[in-house]
């Protein structure tokens, strides 16, 4: 098979396509990385040239291939309790404040959290673990934790909920014992059904509005780094639209959207609130 390097022209075509479909701007120096990732799809499809693959991908017959192409291109690195201070805030400030407001009948006993671009599920499951830790505060509440991602493959992995030791390294030993089944042979950790039951999954592109009721809290972390300003602006507009009044946006350290969050009140460099 002839899997030569991507030419300048092919590289530009794939980058243009990735930008149009996912909003991700690929830097000029990523040609080898993109070539390697696209090559995996060529192999899987038994196609011998990048040109033929591009033609297939952009033809009506290539509709089914597009999600697999995007799976190959995107970076899915994640782990449980990434940025632990976000989860400390969730458990120690956000949930007690909500419970307090509900006790005063200033809000319903209902909680909706969205983990946007959740990859293989570690982020929404970490949120679910915090909710379980504070379950006495939330007794009788209607709770939704939604994990969404562009990639169907990562969502399949999230649904399966099996992780290696690296992914769970920041999970406290007690929580690991209580909420995962460890397979000593494979050293894999399977998330227990009661945690799984707290999370629902949906394939979604951040460039489109999410057609769901508003959320009390949205996590948007480690995804927008590769988006250009125009795409970031679209995503930010969609996120603010999905946030309930008084709801919080938790922003990852690399998003580069701080200057676009004017409609929200800044509480911390990574925490914003929609005015009530
Ligand atoms: C590095 S992971 C971040 C996972 C998690 N939020 C975290 O911080 O650990 C980035 C995820 O963003 C997803 N992604 C990339 N472009 C997207 C888009 N346009 N819409 C939705 N998800 C997207 C990728 O599929 C990938 O799973």
- At 14-70, the pLDDT tens digits run 999 999 999 998 988 889 999 999 999 999 999 999 999 999 999 999 888 998 999
Count of domains for the chain? 2
> pLDDT digit string (tens) for 81-100?
999 999 999 999 999 999 99
Domain encompassing residue 69: 8-73
Give the active site residues: 37, 149
Could you give the 3-state DSSP secondary structure of residue 196? helix
- Ligand 1 centroid–CA 92 distance in Å is 26
pLDDT at position 75 is 83
**For residues 200 and 68, which has the higher predicted lDDT (pLDDT)?**
200
DSSP 75-115: -----TTSSHHHHHHIIIIIHHHHHHHHHTTSS-SEEEEEE
pLDDT at position 240 is 98
Q: Are residues 68 and 90 in the same domain?
A: no
pLDDT at position 166 over 60: yes
pLDDT at position 1 over 60: no
> pLDDT digit string (tens) for 172-199?
999 999 999 999 898 899 999 999 999 9
Cα 107 from Cα 164, distance rounded (Å): 39
Cα 253 from Cα 259, distance rounded (Å): 13
> pLDDT digit string (tens) for 227-267?
999 999 999 999 999 999 999 999 999 999 999 999 999 99
- In degrees and rounded to multiples of 5, residue 18 shows phi and psi of -60, -40
Mean predicted confidence (pLDDT) in 134-141: 92
- Ligand 1 centroid–CA 119 distance in Å is 5
**For residues 205 and 5, which has the higher predicted lDDT (pLDDT)?**
205
Instruction: Name the band, by pLDDT with cuts 50, 70 and 90, for residue 13.
Output: very high
Instruction: Name the band, by pLDDT with cuts 50, 70 and 90, for residue 2.
Output: low
Q: Are residues 224 and 146 in the same domain?
A: yes
Domain end marker among 47, 73, 99: 73
pLDDT at position 110 over 90: yes
> Does the C-beta of 118 come closer than 6 Å to ligand 1?
yes
Domain of 250, CATH number, reads 3.40.50.150
> Does the C-beta of 82 come closer than 6 Å to ligand 1?
yes
Cα 17 from Cα 9, distance rounded (Å): 12
Q: Whose CA is nearest to atom 5 of ligand 1?
A: 118
Domain end marker among 73, 100, 118: 73
Q: To which H or E segment does residue 191 belong?
A: strand 188-191
pLDDT at position 3 is 61
Integer CA distances (angstroms), 151 to 57, 93, 121, 141, 161, in order: 16, 32, 12, 30, 16
Asked whether 54 and 95 are in contact (CB, 8 A), the reply is: no
> Does the C-beta of 101 come closer than 6 Å to ligand 1?
no
Asked whether 130 and 87 are in contact (CB, 8 A), the reply is: yes
Domain contains 231:
yes
């Amino acid at each position: 098979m002839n899997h030569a390097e991507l030419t300048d022209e092919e590289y530009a075509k794939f980058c243009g396509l990735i930008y149009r479909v996912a909003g991700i701007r690929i830097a000029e120096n990523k040609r080898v990385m993109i070539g390697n990732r696209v090559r995996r799809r060529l192999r899987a499809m038994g196609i011998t040239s990048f040109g033929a693959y591009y033609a297939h991908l952009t033809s009506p017959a290539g509709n089914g291939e597009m999600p697999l192409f995007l799976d190959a291109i995107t970076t899915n690195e994640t782990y449980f309790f990434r940025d632990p201070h976000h989860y400390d805030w969730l458990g120690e400030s956000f949930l007690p404040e909500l419970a307090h407001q509900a006790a005063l009948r200033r809000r319903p006993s209902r909680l909706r959290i969205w983990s946007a671009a959740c990859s293989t599920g570690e982020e929404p499951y970490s949120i679910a673990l915090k909710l379980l830790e504070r379950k006495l505060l939330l007794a009788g509440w209607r709770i939704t934790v939604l994990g969404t991602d562009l990639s169907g493959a990562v969502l399949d992995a999230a649904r399966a909920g099996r992780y290696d030791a690296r992914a769970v390294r920041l999970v406290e030993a007690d929580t690991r014992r209580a909420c995962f089944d460890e397979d000593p042979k494979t050293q894999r950790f399977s998330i227990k059904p009661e945690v799984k039951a707290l999370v629902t999954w949906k394939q979604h592109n951040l460039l489109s509005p999410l057609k769901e009721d508003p959320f009390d809290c949205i996590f948007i972390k480690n995804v927008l780094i590769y988006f250009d300003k125009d795409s970031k602006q679209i995503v930010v507009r969609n996120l603010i639209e999905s946030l309930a009044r008084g709801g919080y946006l938790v922003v990852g350290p690399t998003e580069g959207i701080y200057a676009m969050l004017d409609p929200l009140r800044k509480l911390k460099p990574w925490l914003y609130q929609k005015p009530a």
